């Protein structure tokens, strides 16, 4: 608690922290650019096979009679019938066998071009566009693993700026890619760096804010992401060429390079590495800026905390040398799945993460499937996130985490299912219901971060959160393919997302409420929390809580009995 005490004396959210926090939060905007850019980079306009009679610069539009003769149907324009002209100048089919397309003509009324039109990712290559989006999410998954570990080992600051540099390089490379595979590889690398930028920046921001302000600080960072979401549409409105759009969305990352001389290294990370000298320099700089005098006693608490941590670590190393025959009790995902109650809660949390991520990105990437103005739908989809986060700020500490998570999931499920069932004539109602679903799932997404961290015990909290985040990327990858099925039935993705959200809403009721509950510290605490038969263990056994064995682990968490 040493650093927490010092940061309270600095001010939970003093001037220095506010400035650094704002600068860090702004980096969420280009992360949103890259995560949502695929909507426009891989936009799939209407198309048709080019007929042998079409000139090189032929228009997409054809007379309705000619279109009926040339193509099997309006939805199946990947083949065409061979046509000829009679003496009266009228077209007729020369055979009832269709021909394969040699090239395609795209409707340019909405999009000038895209990677889909340039690389011809239609018909037999139609799923390649979805694969590109899926590979971007694979990059996000890999980045969360790689950059997360690197930031723990080498520091938050160097990994944050390394991610920015790599993001700019490969972001420009994606805009210059000569063919599909180069483009997809570059986008995968950009996806990986979004984790390096956003997650590391999020950690830096949260590690310098006092405990009383962390809920507001965490949710506010997400609001900046939503701002970037909406600004992506502004770029797409003014920049119509997909290559220029990709580069335009990348170059703002150069602005954040100047942060190198402003953003400090995380004090918590410095202390964890025993670098008290650099940590104290950052604290004193913040104190001067906040016009606060840090007392010697407070600094001594900080130093003593760091020394005690180092001594405990050395002692553990010595004990490890002396007890080599005993396996190290390293926290792992297995600890979350070993005990029945903790396993049940963990699986529910994993399912909630899967649904939140899949539905959120599925809806964000599929605004073009709702019909009407794609840009307007996209902007509304981003704008509804702001009131969702405001709702969380007002209700999470009043109504509880479980009720908010369950309620948001159920509202999202109902809204999306109804949206999918609306007739085409009620387009405005379809969009409205879909946006209600988007607002609700955004609220769920914001809640699950906090709720999960409170469900996992301290000894496995990082492991649990990392595992939940990794698992959730699976549905992020699958969402790209699910959205591509809209050409079969436009309502199908919405109905699937709505059904998943409903199921997750009801399953979330199995989780115990964590509002105003003590922090779970040990595996035994996690196993006991929310268990019906654990209301009065002291009365049942007549032993103190810390001495009660619990499914192979002592209640104080100090040893396993296997």
DSSP one-letter string for 357-369: HHHHHHHHHTGGG
- Model confidence at 327, pLDDT cuts 50, 70, 90, reads very low
Which pLDDT belongs to residue 65? Answer: 81
CA-to-CA dists, residue 39 to 103, 116, 130, angstroms? 24, 11, 11
Is residue 536 pLDDT above 60, yes or no? no
The Cα 62–Cα 241 span in angstroms is 25
- The 3-state DSSP class for residue 514 equals coil
For the chain, give every domain's residue range. 1-46+124-310, 47-53+66-106, 332-562
- Of the two residues 518 and 120, the one the predictor is more confident about is 120
Mean per-residue pLDDT for 409-426?
A: 91
- Model confidence at 541, pLDDT cuts 50, 70, 90, reads very low
8 Å CB contact between 432 and 461:
no
The fold of 332-562 is Growth Hormone; Chain: A; (1.20.1250)
**Considering only CA atoms, which of 412, 377, 503, 518 is closest in space to residue 455?**
518
Determine phi and psi for 121, rounding to 5 degrees: -90, 60
The Cα 561–Cα 553 span in angstroms is 6
- Of the two residues 219 and 176, the one the predictor is more confident about is 176
Mean per-residue pLDDT for 309-320?
A: 47
Mean per-residue pLDDT for 400-415?
A: 94
**In the structure encoding, which two tokens stand for residue 195, read together?**
């984790």
Which pLDDT belongs to residue 174? Answer: 97
- The 3-state DSSP class for residue 500 equals helix
- Of the two residues 193 and 329, the one the predictor is more confident about is 193
- The 3-state DSSP class for residue 63 equals coil
Instruction: Say how many C-beta atoms besides its own lie within 10 A of residue 460's C-beta.
Output: 22
For the stretch 190-226, pLDDT in tens is 999 998 888 777 777 777 777 677 778 888 888 999 9
Is residue 189 pLDDT above 80, yes or no? yes
- Of the two residues 12 and 411, the one the predictor is more confident about is 411
Average pLDDT, the chain: 83
Which pLDDT belongs to residue 2? Answer: 57
- The 3-state DSSP class for residue 379 equals helix
The Cα 515–Cα 501 span in angstroms is 23
DSSP state of 370: G
Those residues with Cβ within 8 angstroms of residue 19's Cβ, 6 or more apart along the chain or in another chain: 289
Which pLDDT belongs to residue 323? Answer: 41
Instruction: Say how many C-beta atoms besides its own lie within 10 A of residue 543's C-beta.
Output: 12
**Considering only CA atoms, which of 168, 165, 139 is closest in space to residue 250?**
168
Those residues with Cβ within 8 angstroms of residue 318's Cβ, 6 or more apart along the chain or in another chain: none
- Model confidence at 300, pLDDT cuts 50, 70, 90, reads low
Instruction: Say how many C-beta atoms besides its own lie within 10 A of residue 436's C-beta.
Output: 18
For the stretch 227-268, pLDDT in tens is 999 999 999 999 999 999 999 999 999 999 998 888 888 887
Tokens 């066998």 belong to residue? 97
Half-sphere exposure of 161 (CA within 13 A, CB side): 15
Same fold, 1-46+124-310 and 332-562: yes
The Cα 309–Cα 298 span in angstroms is 17
Residue 47, strand partner residues: 106
90-94, 294-298, 432-436, 454-458: segment of lowest average pLDDT:
294-298
- Of the two residues 202 and 326, the one the predictor is more confident about is 202
Mean per-residue pLDDT for 442-466?
A: 84
CA-to-CA dists, residue 130 to 127, 141, 265, angstroms? 5, 17, 38
8 Å CB contact between 129 and 484:
yes
**In the structure encoding, which two tokens stand for residue 467, read together?**
């595992």
Q: What is the largest distance, in Å, between two alpha-carbon atoms of the chain?
A: 104
- Of the two residues 508 and 145, the one the predictor is more confident about is 508
Is residue 502 pLDDT above 90, yes or no? yes
Which pLDDT belongs to residue 331? Answer: 63
20-34, 52-66, 196-210: segment of lowest average pLDDT:
196-210
- Model confidence at 85, pLDDT cuts 50, 70, 90, reads confident
Burial class of residue 96 (count of CB atoms within 10 Å of its CB; 0-12, 13-18, 19+): exposed
pTM of the model: 0.83
For the stretch 490-501, pLDDT in tens is 889 999 999 999
Which pLDDT belongs to residue 562? Answer: 29
For the stretch 390-405, pLDDT in tens is 999 999 888 989 999 9
Is residue 547 pLDDT above 70, yes or no? no
The Cα 448–Cα 529 span in angstroms is 18
The Cα 360–Cα 381 span in angstroms is 10
CA-to-CA dists, residue 198 to 26, 27, 320, angstroms? 10, 7, 36
Q: What is the dihedral of CA 504, 35, 422, 116, to 10 degrees?
A: -130
Is residue 358 pLDDT above 50, yes or no? yes
- Of the two residues 66 and 344, the one the predictor is more confident about is 344
CA 492 to chain centroid, in Å, comes to 23
- From the options 3.40.190.10, 3.30.930.10, 1.10.1240.10, 1.20.1250.20, give the CATH code of 1-46+124-310: 1.20.1250.20
- Model confidence at 163, pLDDT cuts 50, 70, 90, reads very high
């Amino acid at each position: 608690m040493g650093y927490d005490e010092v940061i309270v004396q600095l001010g939970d959210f003093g001037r220095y922290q506010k400035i650094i926090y704002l600068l860090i939060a702004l980096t969420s905007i280009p992360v949103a650019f890259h995560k949502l850019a695929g909507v426009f980079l891989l936009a799939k306009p209407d198309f048709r096979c080019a007929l042998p009679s079409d000139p090189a610069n032929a228009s997409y539009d054809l007379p309705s009679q000619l279109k009926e003769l040339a193509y099997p149907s309006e939805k199946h324009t990947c083949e065409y019938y061979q046509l000829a002209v009679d003496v009266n100048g009228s077209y007729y089919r020369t055979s009832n066998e269709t021909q394969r397309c040699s090239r395609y003509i795209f409707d340019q009324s909405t999009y000038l071009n895209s990677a889909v039109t340039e690389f011809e990712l239609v018909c037999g290559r139609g799923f390649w566009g979805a694969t590109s989006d899926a590979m971007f999410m694979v990059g996000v998954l890999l980045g969360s693993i790689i950059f997360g570990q690197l930031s723990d080992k080498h520091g938050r600051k160097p990994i944050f700026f390394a991610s920015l540099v790599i993001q700019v390089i490969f972001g420009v490379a994606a805009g210059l890619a000569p063919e599909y595979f180069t483009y997809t590889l570059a986008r995968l690398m950009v996806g990986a760096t979004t984790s390096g930028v956003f997650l590391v920046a999020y950690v830096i921001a949260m590690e310098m804010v006092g405990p009383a302000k962390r809920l507001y600080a965490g949710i506010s960072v997400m609001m900046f992401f939503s701002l970037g979401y909406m600004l992506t549409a502004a770029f797409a409105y003014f920049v119509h060429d997909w290559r220029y759009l990709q580069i335009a969305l990348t170059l703002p990352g150069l602005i954040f390079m100047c942060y190198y001389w402003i953003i400090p290294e995380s004090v918590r990370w410095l202390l964890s590495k025993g670098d008290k000298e650099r940590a104290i320099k950052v604290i004193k700089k913040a104190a001067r800026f906040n016009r606060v005098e840090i007392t010697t006693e407070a600094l001594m608490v900080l130093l003593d905390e760091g020394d005690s941590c180092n001594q405990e670590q050395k002692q553990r190393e010595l004990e490890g040398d002396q007890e080599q025959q005993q396996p190290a009790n390293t926290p792992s995902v297995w600890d979350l799945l070993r005990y029945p109650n903790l396993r049940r809660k963990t699986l529910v949390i994993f399912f909630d993460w899967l649904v939140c991520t899949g539905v959120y990105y599925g809806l964000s990437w599929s605004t073009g499937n709702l019909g009407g103005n794609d840009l307007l739908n996209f902007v509304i989809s981003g704008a509804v996130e702001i009131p969702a986060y405001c709702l969380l700020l007002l209700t999470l500490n009043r109504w509880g985490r479980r009720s908010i998570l369950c309620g948001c999931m159920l509202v999202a499920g109902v809204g999306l299912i109804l949206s999918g069932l609306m007739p085409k004539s009620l387009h405005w109602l379809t969009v409205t219901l879909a946006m209600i679903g988007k607002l609700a799932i955004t609220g769920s997404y914001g809640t699950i971060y906090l709720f999960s961290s409170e469900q996992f015990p301290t000894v496995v909290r990082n492991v649990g959160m990392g595992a939940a985040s990794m698992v959730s990327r699976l549905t992020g990858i699958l969402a790209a393919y699910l959205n591509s099925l809209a050409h079969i039935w436009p309502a199908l993705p919405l109905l699937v997302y709505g059904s998943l959200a409903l199921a997750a809403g009801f399953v979330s009721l199995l989780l115990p409420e964590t509002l105003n509950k003590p922090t779970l510290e040990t595996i035994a605490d996690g196993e006991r929390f929310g268990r019906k038969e654990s209301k009065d263990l002291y009365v049942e056994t007549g032993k103190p809580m810390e001495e009660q064995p619990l499914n192979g682990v002592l209640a104080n968490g100090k040893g396993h009995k296997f």
